[in-house]
Structures are given as C-alpha cells and as structure tokens.
Amino acid sequence: MNRPIRRISVVAMVMFALLLGNVTYSALVRYNTWNADPANNRVRDAQFGQDRGPILAAGQVPLAETEPSDGRFDYQRVYPTNPELYAPITGYYSYSYGRSALENSYNAELSGTDDSQFLSRVIDSVTGETPTGATVETTIVPAAQQAAWDGLAGRKGAVVAMNPQTGAILAMVTTPSYDPNELGTHDNDDASEAWTSLNDDADRPMANRAAREIYPPGSTFKLVTAAAALESGMSPDDEIDSPEQYTLPQTNTQLGNETNCGGDRVSLDQALQVSCNTAFAGLGVDLGAEALQAQADKFGFGTRPLPDLAAVASQFPDDPNGAQTALAAIGQGDVAASPLQMTMVTSGIANGGVVMDPYVVDTVRADDLSVLRQTQPQERSTAMSSENADALAEMMVHVVESGTGVNGQMSGVTVGGKTGTAQTTEERPPYAWFTAFGGEEGNPSVAVTVFIEEADIERSDIAGGRLAAPIARDVMEAVL
C-alpha cells in the first residue's frame, strides 16, 4: 500500500472514530437535554402517546393521571380531583404550552425517561410492553388543602401549611386558580382559547401567590425583628420605647400605631402581643439594618426554596437608610415575602430555631411500586438558638392567648401566631396576614400562613387577626 492510500486510510479511520465518539457522547450525555427540549416535537409526540405516571396527594388521592384516548394521541392527561384546588401543585401538561409545577420538575420521572428508569425502559423494549411513567406521591393533605380553599372563599390570596419538624408541605392553595384540564386537551383550538383567556384575566388565575409572588409582610415580619433582638441578648421582659408617634430617622414623617401599646415603654413580649409599630420601628433602628438583614437571611430570605415549584426569593432591602430600616422592621417599605417564606419563619421558631428545607414530593415509585426516590428531611439553616426560639414561640402563644391573634385559638391545642396588616397604596386596601403554629405544647406539628390580597370589604374592617386567623385555625384543625 503506497503512502497516499495509507494517509487516506488513517484520515478515514480518525473520522470514523470521531463520528462514533460523537454518537456515543450524544447517546449518553446529550440524551436527557434533547429529551427535555420543548422544541423537540418527536419526543413531545412520543410522550403524549404514552402512559404518563400519576401525581398523588396523601392517601393515594389522584391529582393527575392518564387515561386511554381515542383522540389525537393514545392517552389523555387529566386532573380528576378538584383541579383548581390542586393546580398550584400539579401544574399543567399541555402539548402547545409545555408544563409547569410538578408536571415540569418531575417530567422525566412521570414520562419514564429518568436515568433511574433506564432498566425498565430496556426491559419494556425487549418485552414489547408499553412504557409507564413513575408515580409521584406528594405530601399534600387533602383535608388541609380543602380547608384552606374553603377559608379563602374565592378571595385573592394564598395559604401554605408545613410540618415544621420535617419541612413537608401539607397544603398550598392560591386563589383565584384555574383548571389545568383546559390546557391539557388535545384540541389545540380549545387549548389556545383557554390559554388566551387565562393570560388576559386581570385576576391572574395562573399566578402562584403562595410561592411565586412576594408582598409586604406587614407585622408578621416583626417575628424576624424580635428574633434579631433576642439573638442580640435581649429578653422578652426587656422594655423598649413605645411612643404614640415615632419620627422616622432623617425625616419629618410620623409613624403611628393601630392599637394601644399599653404605655410609653412596654416589654418586648407586650409589644409583640399588641403589634406596636413604634416600638418595633425604634427597635429595628437600634438593632441596625445589618442585624435585621442577617436574621432575615437565616430564615431563608434571599434564597429560592422549593425548586420543585419554582418558588421565588423573598427580599430584605439592600443598604437601607434609617427611615427605611424602621419601616423594614415592621414589614413595610421594601421588605417583600411570599407566604411560603413566612411559613418557614414560623416553622423555624416552632422547631427550636432550625429551619427545615421545604419539600412537596415524598416518594417517587416505579410502576412495580419500587422506590426510585425518597425525600429525606434536610436542615436548611439554624435561624436562632433553641433557647431564644422557645422564648419567641412563647411570645407568639401570648399573641393568640391575649393579643391580636385571639381568633386563632383552638380548644385543647397550643397555638402561637402573629397577625399582619400591610399597607400598600392609598388606592387599595391593605393585605391581611396571619402566620401561626399549632400542636402539643413544646412540640408543634403544623405551621400555617394565610395571606389575603383582596378581601372585598371596607378598609377599616381589614386585619390579619380578623380575616386570616380563622382560616389558619381551620387548616390546623384539618391537620391535627
């Protein structure tokens, strides 16, 4: 063989080696990326033509499942159980508009394409069996979910309930909501009409107000300020100034109180019970913005919890001046939090200062019921010492026993809570908040946050204790 032929042979061998390497790399590395690409029509058609796994609530209640279909595809995704109630959890699965919530974050498992299901896919291909997706079992308690929905009664708002000891999400409701069946239909015209209607709706029914929206938390943020005070060395009995009017630093603006604080100086415990604005504003300035920022961060502000539902980060203002710090200390100004975040704050206090990582999926099972994935509770952070957490939890119990949160009381159950009424603009009524924990004394098993965006009643009648606390009580009763 002469030299030119040898050279051509070597070049050909190298090219074949590179080609084989690229094919191997594509099959092993790029496979999942290509499968996940929503523009990949071949994969999308294949997934819509197979038996997608179900999504279940606690007690094996089906939230999403797949039925045989005589339509465009062999199977139809349906949401059989109160679809509007569970839409923030399941999300939608649409041919034209993709996926959201658990339908998106667990798409690989539900469609049977996850790496953990590789062996099952091989067996199915050999035996000729139709591939079946995995089952996603959530932590949602249907009774608590229904109680939250009934309590909101169609008003704009959200409810989140969580087990403070594990981080398991027990309920997550947002209103108004939508029916994911309308987007999952195989009729593209009907799906398009539903999509347009939902996105044009000024009430934003597809918005997850529980985890993906942030709002001024009002006086519920005083829990963070109180935590910073206790961590700085204060005790619940230490007295702080509580004037009728507080002049915001570097301004002539006067901040007043919505309630009688009980005197010009009151204990930290008393200030929380009656939600004294001037006391907490001055306390926040004395502690300083850095201390408040650090305490908020320890509870999870600035991070994105619950990635399964694409939750957003709550925020504390960067480098606030004196006036902004005073407003931040009472949950006004540029502080913004999701109901999920405030549930994490309450859970951390109830759990001895330890904030658990929130999660909504308990188990993922293959079609033979074997466990593919099991969520193990994880500590997210230590927000405060156990001694100070217990002290603050006791202060929250006093709020419910004899303060602004009396409407959250439950017979035979220890309940601690904090009300909040957050001012927004002069043109609209304030937001109503209530965050609470409940259970055996010293061992709370549920934390709940209720947020009401629009109550449709007179401005003077809105308060977190009046509107939101009874809803939290009903949700806790459903869990306990």
Max Cα distance, the chain (Å): 105
The rounded distance, in Å, linking the Cα atoms of 410 and 413 is: 5
Q: Is 27 exposed, middle or buried (0-12, 13-18, 19+ CB in 10 A)?
A: exposed
DSSP state letter for 312: P
Encoded tokens for 140:
């949602």
Helix (H) or strand (E) holding 223, with range, is helix 222-231
Encoded tokens for 28:
């092993």
Q: Are strands 239-241 and 169-175 parallel, antiparallel or unpaired?
A: unpaired
- Is residue 219 flagged as an active site residue? yes
The rounded distance, in Å, linking the Cα atoms of 474 and 134 is: 34
DSSP state letter for 440: E
- SS3 category, 50: coil
Contact 451, 475 (CB under 8 A): no
Q: What is the 3-state secondary structure (H, E, C) of 245-285?
A: CEECCCCCCEECCCCCCCCCEEEHHHHHHHCCHHHHHHHHH
The rounded distance, in Å, linking the Cα atoms of 438 and 117 is: 40
Helix (H) or strand (E) holding 362, with range, is strand 361-365
Contact 398, 369 (CB under 8 A): no
Helix (H) or strand (E) holding 99, with range, is strand 98-99
Question: Could you say which of 219, 314, 347, 445 is catalytic?
Answer: 219
Q: How large is the angle between the packed helices 469-479 and 142-152, nearest 10 degrees?
A: 160
The rounded distance, in Å, linking the Cα atoms of 273 and 411 is: 20
The rounded distance, in Å, linking the Cα atoms of 335 and 211 is: 16
User: Can the peptide bond before residue 176 be classed as cis, meaning omega within 30 degrees of 0?
Assistant: yes
Give the distance from CA 185 to its chain's centroid: 27
Encoded tokens for 30:
């790029």
Could you tell me which of 223, 285, 239, 281 has the C-alpha nearest to residue 256?
A: 281
User: Which residues does the annotation mark as catalytic?
Assistant: 219
